[in-house]
Amino acid sequence: MSKTLGAWDKAKREQRKMTIVTAYDVTAARLAEAAGVDAVLVGDSLGMMVGGEADTLRVTLEQMLYHTEIVARAATNTLVMADLPFGSFEESPAQAFAACAKLLKAGAQIVKLEGGAPMVETVAFLSRRAVPVCAHIGLTPQHVRQMGGFKRQGKTPEAAAQLLEDALALEDAGARMVLMEAIPSDLAAEITAKLRVPTIGIGAGPGTDGQVLVFHDILGLTPGRAPAFAKRYLDGAQLITTALAEYVREVRESQFPA
């Protein structure tokens, strides 16, 4: 069972790969758990996947609490991770703790926050107060406007060195996991080898301890174009559209209800 953080630490020691998918509702959480996924992430990506937003910045803490509660209700044997949304934690460590306390009470077992070196003090503050933290570095979607778009990170020697330094500092501050998004695979593998805590990759190559993908990307439900690093395992949009169209046809031709 991978519900506990200890199970993730053990997997790291035994070099067993772990899996995470996003989940925003009961249906996704139940399906992910039935498939044997090790953790579900209630991501602020729900702003894009569920709300049709261009980025994650408008997602509120109240929305995250609602979705975390319903996902945790369904994923009873799977680790539940929840995102701290933009504006809910950057002001001060105390602000971050207040938001984390609400997410943990809603059912999260670990809380994810974006940012490198500037968040070290906050991670340390939270860790000393019994809040398990997953630190998110590399491409951090909440900083997309500052970054000038969803761009790959860590491409220069200087940027790569900074990401490694950030990861080590966040681990020292008490982070229980480090998620790396859209960075070179060799850099992700190097960071993974140097950290004692589990690493999670998304668009960061195969060298991390685990992988995370968006539920809608896996099932081919993503509106528009999916990220280049995502793999579609099902043409879900076509299958669902075909089924709905068949329902429409049967009703109009008086075949349903029989």
Q: Is 66 helix (H, G, I), strand (E, B) or coil?
A: helix
How far are the Cα atoms of 8, 62, 63 from residue 30, in angstroms, in the given order?
A: 20, 22, 20
Structure tokens at 54: 């261009």
Q: Which residue out of 121, 181, 246, 250 is catalytically annotated?
A: 181
CB of 163 closer than 8 Å to CB of 182: no
Closest-CA residue to 215 (of 3, 39, 17, 8): 39
| 181 catalytically annotated | yes
Query: Can you tell me the distance from the alpha carbon of 208 to that of 198, in angstroms, rounded to the nearest whole number?
Result: 8
The strand pairing partners of 138, in sequence order, are 181
Characterize the bridge pairing of strands 210-213 and 18-22: parallel
CB of 183 closer than 8 Å to CB of 163: yes
Catalytic residue positions, numbered: 181
